Structure formats: C-alpha cells, structure tokens
C-alpha cells in the first residue's frame, strides 16, 4: 500500500487533527497530502503503520470463548482476555477519543460491533457471549430511586435500586444474555461508598436477582507495575464452579517492579519522535515534559502550605528506584501525582504518554494516536492490564465446566482448586 493510500486509511479511521498529532505535523499538511497537492516524505508510511494502524491481527481461534467489552476505554480488558484465547464480539465506549485509540489497536474493527452509548442499546441486540467484561463507572445513586418495577417482572428487582446508574445497563444485559461468567472492575472506594450500601446493592443484584455465584477482591496493581493502584475486581459465574482467589499468582508487593522498568532509557527500544530526541546518540525526553519554573514553584509552595497544616496534599516525586502513586485521569493538568526527578539542578518532569502506557502494563506495540492530554486521561482511566490478565488466567479454565473450549494460559498453570 502506497503512502497516499495509507493516509486515506488513517483519515477514514481518525480525524485530521489526530493524524497530524500522531505524525507530528500541521493539520494543513495532512489535508494537502490527502488532496494529493503535495507528496508526503518517505518516513510517513512507517510512521502511520507504527503509530496509527493496528499491529496485531484479531485472534484467529474461532472456537475460543466469546466476550463483550463494555465501558471499554482503550481496550485494557480486551487485551488481557485475548491473551487467554478470548474473542471479542461486541464493544461499547462513549468517548470519541478513547474509541480512536481502541480502533487503532485492534485489527478487526471493520467487522466488529462497536457502539457508543450503551444506554441506548437494546439488550436483545447484544451478541451472545460467554464472558461479560465491564469497567463500569460508579455514579452515586440512591436506593430509593425512581422505580422500574416491571424490569425482569420483579416489582422490587435490581432496576428499582440502581435507577440512573450505568451498573443497571450491565445488569440488564446479564439478565437478558445470561453469560457464563462476568468480570467487573471499579475503584476500591466502591466498597465503602454510601457506608457500604452501594456495594451491598450491587452484590445483591448479581447474586439474588441475577442468580450468579459472586467473588470479589481488591487487587493492587503494584504486584505487576511500579504503581500503587488498588481496584475492586468482581467475578461471577452463572453456575457453581470451584473458583478461588487462592489460585492467583501475585508477585510479592515488596518485590514488584520499580520505575526504572517503565522510564525511557538512553537506548530506549521504542524511539518515538513525539516524546524523545537524540543527543549524542542517546534518547532524551523532550524538554516540554519538564515543568516550568512557575509551575514547579507553585507545586512546591502548595505542598509546603498543606504540610504545615498537617495535610498530605502535595506532589509525588519519584526516581528510578521508586514506586509511583496512582496515575489519575487528571494527570494532564500538572502531573503532580507522579513527577520524575531529574536531579537537584533541574526541574522534575511529567511522564510521557508512552511511560504512562507502560505504567498501566501495555506493551510498546500499543498505539497512542491522540494528543498527550487525551492520552493522559485514557491511561489514567485504564485498568492495569496484567492484573486483569492474571484474573482471566484463573477464570478461563472454569469456562470448561460450561462446555466452552478454553485456551491454556502460556507459561503458567492454574493451581488445583
């Protein structure tokens, strides 16, 4: 495929500005290339393939288990379950920019059902599937909400208690499609929200109203990545199976990787011009990621002010030997929760989007076709991929109880239940 054809393909999948950002050129330049007014440089073909077009093919195993990916974000859960033989048959994600990143990383999107607002999708139109995945947003809700007494034919069913929340959409799809299993992920605070009533309602819906055997556990991403990130994982099976969290193979927290494993190196294996420049044959992070004197002074003074009041607010400064705080979706604002030390004589810097991807457990083949601001939001909202992959590893063998072929996990064998 020639360069003009690649540009056309990229523009069919992404907007002009996104393509321009990925190629580090002006949007007007991209428009001129698209209109055949000028010829793009020779490097553009490789840049498009590396930064915009999916690298890996969709799983060829048609006999593997089928799953759907709700509130998919940029595809962290899908990435994890594909590693264990799953095949995604349906995706929902409302954010346009997250959709672009998702579509840039999965090769089957042309024939794949991808919807935006799941609240507008009739549950009967969702494809049949074996496993439902959902990193659903947890919005505050009242138990005494507006009633939907006719849902599932139960006058006091789950919809009555979760009216107006996106968990309702997960529940109504489970009720209609009855998947063999599900995995839900949310923030740790879901357990304590509204004095525990929110979580109690969710478990009641899954167990009593929907009839699933449910297991939940808070897992820290620090087992696999150099980041303190605790999330609640809720797993359910339609029938009773000998699932147990004891089968998890979690590296000791105090032996987890450090920041050196994700920071750019002098010989960085993935040299991306939007983040790095070369100085004396070494890869160096661009200066625009270093904090300005004004911002660094503000953050420093802000931390001192709150320390004097006995508060813990302030920036998080890390070196290659440390573990970072939780990466949040607000990281684009000032980067204060994770600042990389550059020594006493230089202001610290933000992580680059590639470093954020690594911090969430994505490998370097993962495409980042959006601006830094969008990328920071997306990775801050993502799951830690190896955490979900490890949970998938101990879930998948139990699908065989339902007659679903399960691909054996590579390199690890589940312990006896």
* pLDDT tens digits, one per residue of 215-263: 999 999 999 999 999 999 999 999 999 999 999 999 999 888 999 999 9
- Taking only the tens place, the pLDDT of each residue in 292-337 is 999 999 988 888 876 766 666 678 899 999 999 999 989 998 888 9
User: Which regions of 99-138 does DSSP assign to beta strands (E)?
Assistant: 113-115, 131-134
pLDDT of residue 159: 46
> Which residue has 């709700």 as its token pair?
70
User: Which regions of 152-306 does DSSP assign to beta strands (E)?
Assistant: 181-187, 213-220, 230-237, 276-279, 282-285
> Which residue has 């992404």 as its token pair?
14
- In the chain, where are the structural domains located? 3-51, 66-251+384-402, 259-380
Options 138, 174, 241, 406, the catalytic residue = 138
Selection from 51, 388, 46 nearest residue 231 by Cα: 388
138 is catalytic: yes
pLDDT of residue 412: 46
Alpha-carbon distances, residue 285 vs 2, 77, 226, 275, 414 (angstroms): 32, 29, 20, 6, 41
Phi, psi dihedral angles at 181 (to 5 degrees): -155, 165
Alpha-carbon distances, residue 240 vs 215, 394, 396 (angstroms): 11, 15, 14
pLDDT of residue 11: 82
Going by pLDDT thresholds of 50, 70 and 90, the confidence category of residue 10 is confident
**Which stretch of 5-14, 77-86, 260-269 has the lowest confidence by average pLDDT?**
5-14
DSSP readout, 175-189? HHH--SEEEEEEEGG
pLDDT of residue 119: 87
- Cα–Cα distance measured from residue 289 to residue 281, given in angstroms and rounded to the nearest whole number: 20
pLDDT of residue 411: 41
* Average pLDDT estimate for 20-25: 83
- Taking only the tens place, the pLDDT of each residue in 174-194 is 999 999 999 999 988 888 877
**Span between the terminal Cα atoms of the chain, in Å:** 51
* Average pLDDT estimate for 146-161: 39
User: Taking the domain 259-380, which CATH number applies?
Assistant: 3.90.120.10
Going by pLDDT thresholds of 50, 70 and 90, the confidence category of residue 7 is confident
- Taking only the tens place, the pLDDT of each residue in 105-121 is 887 765 678 888 888 88
- At the topology level, CATH places domain 66-251+384-402 in Rossmann fold (3.40.50)
Asked if the model's pLDDT at residue 136 lies above 70, the reply is yes
Quote the percentage of the chain above a pLDDT of 70: 83
Selection from 355, 382, 358 nearest residue 77 by Cα: 382
SS3 (DSSP) at 361: coil
Going by pLDDT thresholds of 50, 70 and 90, the confidence category of residue 150 is very low
Torsion sign over Cα 137, 141, 143, 147:
negative
- Cα–Cα distance measured from residue 291 to residue 269, given in angstroms and rounded to the nearest whole number: 25
């Amino acid at each position: 495929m020639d360069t003009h054809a690649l540009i056309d393909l990229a523009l069919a999948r992404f907007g002009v500005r996104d393509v321009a950002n990925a190629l580090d050129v002006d949007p007007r330049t991209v428009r001129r290339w698209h209109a055949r007014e000028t010829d793009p440089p020779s490097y553009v073909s490789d840049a498009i393939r590396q930064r915009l077009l999916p690298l890996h093919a969709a799983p060829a195993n048609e006999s593997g288990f089928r799953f759907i990916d709700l509130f998919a974000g940029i595809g962290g859960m899908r990435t994890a379950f594909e590693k264990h033989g799953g095949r995604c048959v349906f995706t929902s994600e409302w954010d346009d920019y997250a959709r672009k990143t998702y579509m840039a990383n999965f090769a089957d999107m042309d024939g794949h059902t991808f919807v935006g607002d799941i609240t507008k999708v009739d549950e009967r139109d969702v494809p049949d599937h074996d496993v439902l995945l959902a990193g659903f947003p947890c919005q505050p809700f009242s138990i005494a909400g507006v009633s939907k007494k006719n849902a599932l034919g139960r006058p006091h069913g789950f919809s009555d208690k979760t009216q107006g929340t996106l968990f309702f959409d997960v529940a109504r799809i489970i009720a209609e499609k009855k998947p063999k299993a599900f995995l839900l992920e949310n923030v740790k605070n879901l357990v304590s929200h509204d004095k525990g009533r929110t979580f109690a309602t969710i478990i009641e819906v899954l167990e009593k109203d929907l009839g699933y055997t449910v297991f939940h556990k808070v897992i820290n991403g620090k087992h696999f990545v150099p980041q303190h990130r605790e999330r609640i994982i809720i797993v359910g099976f339609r029938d009773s199976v000998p699932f147990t969290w004891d089968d998890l193979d979690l590296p000791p927290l105090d032996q987890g990787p450090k920041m050196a494993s994700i920071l750019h190196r002098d010989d960085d294996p993935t040299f991306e011009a939007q983040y790095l420049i070369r100085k004396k044959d070494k890869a160096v992070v661009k200066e625009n990621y270093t904090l300005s004197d004004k911002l660094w002074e503000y953050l420093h003074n802000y931390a001192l002010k709150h320390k004097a009041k006995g508060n813990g607010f302030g920036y998080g400064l890390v070196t290659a030997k440390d573990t970072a705080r939780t990466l949040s979706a607000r990281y684009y604002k000032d980067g204060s929760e994770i600042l990389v030390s550059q020594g006493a004589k230089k202001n610290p810097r933000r992580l680059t989007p590639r470093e954020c991807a690594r911090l969430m457990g994505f490998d370097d083949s993962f495409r980042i076709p959006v601006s830094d601001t969008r990328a920071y939001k997306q990775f801050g909202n993502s799951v830690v991929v190896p955490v979900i992959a490890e949970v998938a590893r101990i879930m998948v063998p139990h699908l065989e109880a339902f007659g679903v072929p399960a691909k054996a996990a590579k390199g690890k064998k589940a312990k006896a239940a």
